Every structure is written in C-alpha cells, then in structure tokens.
Structure 1
Amino acid sequence: MATYNRAHFIVETLAAIQKQTHINWECLIIDDGGTDNTLEVISPILEVDPRFSFLKRPNSYGKGLPGCRNYGIDTATGDYIIFFDDDDIPHPQNLEICLNELKDSSFKFCRYLRAVFFGEFDYKFDSKNSFGKVTFTHNDLSKMIDHTISFNSCAVLWSKSCFEKNRFNETLMYAEEWECYSRILSEKIKGVCIEKTLFYGRKHANSNTGEFWKKNPVRQNSKKEAIRLIMENLRAKNLLTSYLFTYLSGLAISFRDRRLIDDIIKRVGLSLRQKIILHIKYTVYPIWVAYKRLLKTKKPKNVI
C-alpha cells in the first residue's frame, strides 16, 4: 500500500484490512515522503497488529506510485500480492475468496469487480459465495488493453511469480498499471475473473485520473509514453494485431502530438502500411472529429 499524506483516510482502510476473514497476511505501508501525521494516526494499529509494517520508500526507488509498489514487491514475503490504495475499502472476504479461486494452480491471478463511492463509506457487504466466473487467457489480452475487461490495480490478486521479471515503470506517473499489466498478460498466463465486488474505491477530485482529464501535463505525457511502450512490447512479441494497432494508434492520435506519432513510427517498428495509415489518420483526425460533432447536432429529436 503506497501512501502520501492520507492521514484522514488511511485508518479506515487499515481497519477494513484487519477485518479480512483470511488472517494470514502482511500489509506493507510504503510512505512516499509524506509530510502529514500519517505515522502518528496509524501507530495505535501498528503497535497491536504486527501484520502491518510502515516503511519509508528508499531513494533507490523512484518517487511516486510505481516506485513504492516496486519496493513493496521486492520486500513482500508472501506468495500473492494485491496493491491496495490508502483510501479504499476491501470486502472482508477479499483474500479468502481470491485464494480459494487460486487453488487451481494454472491460474496466476484472480480479478474481481470494483465499486466506487463518494464521501463516507456506507455499504452492506454481499456475503454470498455464489457468483459467475470466466477464465482469462492470452486470447483476451486485447480486452484488457481496450478496457473491455478493466484491470484496476486494487481489483486483482496476483501470484507473486507474475512479477519475477516485471516491475512498474518508474518513469510513468499515470497509466503505469495499464502498461505493466499488459506486459504481464502478454506472457500468455491464465487467470480467473469473478463476478463479485470485493473492493470499493473512493472517488475524489485530487485523484490521478481526475488530473489526467483536467489535462495535467505530467499525467497526459505519462499516458502517451504508456501507449508507446505497450505498442513496442506487443510488436516485439508479435501480438500487435490489426485491432490493437487501430485502437492504440487512435489513442495516440487523439492527443494531437506530432512528436508522439513520429516516436511511435521510429521506435515501435511498424510496417510501411501501418506508417502510412498512421500518417493519414493523424492528418484527417480533426476533420473526422468535426464530422462526428456535426452528426450529433443534426440528429433528429424524438417527437411526442
């Protein structure tokens, strides 16, 4: 659990983790150089529950979420990992249900559903143990990349073996999960996706996602770099299908950054046909956007 100046939220999150029905766990709280009284407010919990550890991110790891998570991966002693946030609430049966699913040794992760809430947490947990499930294989990689099947960091329990050769890219300050998980899943591992909500994410204005949509340059540039890295990895593994090329190049073009397009062409190793398509799409994109807006304005209204 990476944390930065969340003294006003973190105690509630730690209390929820303590209520896990599976009791054999460790929670590494990685402080990213915060300046508030986080340690003071969580000290009563640390003193009575040795399963919690409060650690300062060493300078050998980059500042930010990726560096904290990489330090956590390198420090963790368990066989499985979940990246909890410091302001969210896990379902009491989160670990119990996921670990039960992973008794099938062919599964390397368990993905579950995530709900969001605003303000105070006031949910009644679903205690039913019957739910739908599907197997996720390398054939579903495109669904993860285009977010048809979302892989929110707090909504996946991973086998630690998935990180033997993978770490979060510490230069990314947004979309680092998307980029890292696409690399892991491109290694053709198999997991299970269950239709049960086991995590509740708190929504607030100061989130990384909120900053991205407000066009924060750090978040925007990080997403651009993540797109390029994903395309480069897929091309190297011969997994950049026509659909994924269309989807990822479309994302890149939407930023209207000529340097990004040139960088993708230079570094990803596209075919001549793909290069021509990318140039054409970049050029005509403003016309296409204007055309779509025009269609919306001319859409006939329902007559009662």
Structure 2
Amino acid sequence: MSLISIIVPCYNQAQYLDECLNSVRNQSYQNWECIIVNDGSPDNTEEIALEWTKKDSRFKYIFQENSGVSAARNNGIDNSTGEWILPLDSDDKISPSYLEKAVIKIKEGYHLIYSNAIYFGKKNEKWILEDYEHSKLLYHNIIFCAAIFKKNNIRFDSKMTYGFEDWEFWINYIFSTEDIKIHKLDSCELYYRIKNESRNKTLKG
C-alpha cells in the first residue's frame, strides 16, 4: 500500500501533463501512487496518461464524464489506497524533495503539510505563503491546493466548479479534525504555473 496518493485531475491540459507527471516520478521519496483523473478532456490526455501507466505501475488512470475539478479530485481520492493525499493540478509541478520533507513531518504527528512555492510561466518569482493560523484562514485562503493531508471523509464540493472550492475544503477539513497540527515548510516545494488562459485559481499570492 502506498503511503501518499497524488491525485491529478486533468481537463484539456495534455500539453502540460508530461511535465507534471515527470515531477511526480522524480520524487526522492518513492512510496506513492499517482491517480490521473481525466475529466472528459477533448484533447489527448488519455493517450498521455496511459503511456505513463505503462512506464510505471504506480501511475493509475481513471476516466470520467466532464464533471469539474472538484468531482475529479473526489473520484481520485475515493479510488486511492494511500493514507495521505496530495491534490496536484495537471499544469503544476512539485519539487523532488516535497514528499520526503512531508513524510518527516508526518512522522512528527502533523496532519497537513504545505510549503512556499514558485510561480512559473507568465510570471516567475517566489510565492511566500503565510504561516498557518486558524483566524487567518477564516478571512482568506492561506494554503495552496497541493498540500499533503491525512485522508478522511471530507471531500471537495463538486457543485462548486468555479470559485473557492479549495478554501472551502480546507475550512471543512481543518475544523473537522480534532487537535489538528499543520506545518508550513520554509522551502519552495510547489511550482505553480501562471497562464493567460487559466481559470481563476482559488489562491493567489
């Protein structure tokens, strides 16, 4: 059984998928599975995803009719075997050390781990996130979607296809977990792609 399940929802982002999945495969920590959820993409997402399942058995593939990113993430989580979840958008990347550093904090008893990040693409600079405080989260989202958290019965709101689904998820997750411990790594472990055509992602620096 994998310790960490990485969930990659993909809709019409095939041009970036190889880069994303390569960052998963290059992890220094190896006990993971990666579930690619094709949300009814009209492009060649399926072809690329299936090639990755042939390269490495830790990659799994799921197809669903187009239902939105939240439903795709939930589908991946529901079909995962890991105790921990990392939602990773298919146009983003993670650093090779992210899982390894997170596992250290998992062993120290933390329930949710995130980090600083780096914008790339149309914008290239560091993205320094705030240290976690309950009160801050109630006013604005301070955790990016690609945080690593212990799996429970909380899921993303599949009716919220555009908007603040990440923020709502973190509020529900954090306030449903007794004595939750949250840690922000000081290093930059997420590469967050900025594109002209991007939908408005939930959290901006």
Which TM bucket (shorter chain)?
0.7 to 0.9
Q: 1:176 aligns with which of 165, 168, 171?
A: 165
Query: Which structure's residues are more often helix, by fraction?
Result: 1
2:92 counterpart residue number = 88
Q: Does 1:142 align with 2:122?
A: no
Q: 1:118 aligns with which of 118, 121, 131?
A: 121
Query: Which structure's residues are more often strand, by fraction?
Result: 2
- Alignment partners' CA distance in 1, 2:15 and 2:88: 16
Q: Deviations over 1:268-296 (max 9, x none)?
A: xxxxxxxxxxxxxxxxxxxxxxxxxxxxx
Q: Deviations over 1:31-67 (max 9, x none)?
A: 100111122234332212011111012x6xx810110
Q: Alpha carbons of 1:120 and 1:46: their partners in 2 closer, same or farther (altered >3 Å)?
A: farther
- Structure whose CA Rg is larger: 1
1:78 counterpart residue number = 82
1:153 counterpart residue number = 145
1:248 counterpart residue number = none
Q: What is the letter of the counterpart of residue 160 of structure 2?
A: L
- Alignment partners' CA distance in 2, 1:141 and 1:185: 9
How much has 1:84 moved relative to structure 2? 0.4
Give the 3-state SS of the residue equivalent to 1:197 in structure 2.
strand
Q: Alpha carbons of 1:44 and 1:184: their partners in 2 closer, same or farther (altered >3 Å)?
A: closer
Q: 1:10 aligns with which of 17, 29, 32?
A: 17
1:20 counterpart residue number = 27
- Alignment partners' CA distance in 1, 2:87 and 2:193: 15
Q: Per chain length, whose mean CA-contact separation is higher, i.e. which structure has more relative contact order (CA < 8 Å, sep 6+)?
A: 2
2:4 counterpart residue number = none
How much has 1:119 moved relative to structure 2? 5.3
Q: Which runs of 5+ in 2 are unaligned?
A: 1-7, 126-130
Q: What is the letter of the counterpart of residue 113 of structure 1?
A: N
Contact 1:141–1:182 (Cα < 8 Å) also in 2 = no
2:197 counterpart residue number = 206
Q: Deviations over 1:171-201 (max 9, x none)?
A: 1122011011111122352221221110101
- Alignment partners' CA distance in 2, 1:177 and 1:103: 25
How much has 1:76 moved relative to structure 2? 0.6
Contact 1:22–1:96 (Cα < 8 Å) also in 2 = yes
Contact 1:66–1:169 (Cα < 8 Å) also in 2 = yes
How much has 1:144 moved relative to structure 2? 1.8
Q: Which runs of 5+ in 1 are unaligned?
A: 124-133, 212-304
- Alignment partners' CA distance in 1, 2:12 and 2:111: 33
How much has 1:120 moved relative to structure 2? 10
- Alignment partners' CA distance in 2, 1:120 and 1:10: 19
1:129 counterpart residue number = none
Q: How many residues align?
A: 188
Q: Alpha carbons of 1:42 and 1:67: their partners in 2 closer, same or farther (altered >3 Å)?
A: closer
Determine what percentage of the aligned residue pairs are the same residue: 27
Q: Deviations over 1:251-275 (max 9, x none)?
A: xxxxxxxxxxxxxxxxxxxxxxxxx
1:109 counterpart residue number = 112
TM-score of the superposed pair, with normalisation by structure 2: 0.84
Give the 3-state SS of the residue equivalent to 2:103 in structure 1.
helix
Q: What is the letter of the counterpart of residue 56 of structure 1?
A: F
- Alignment partners' CA distance in 1, 2:157 and 2:44: 29
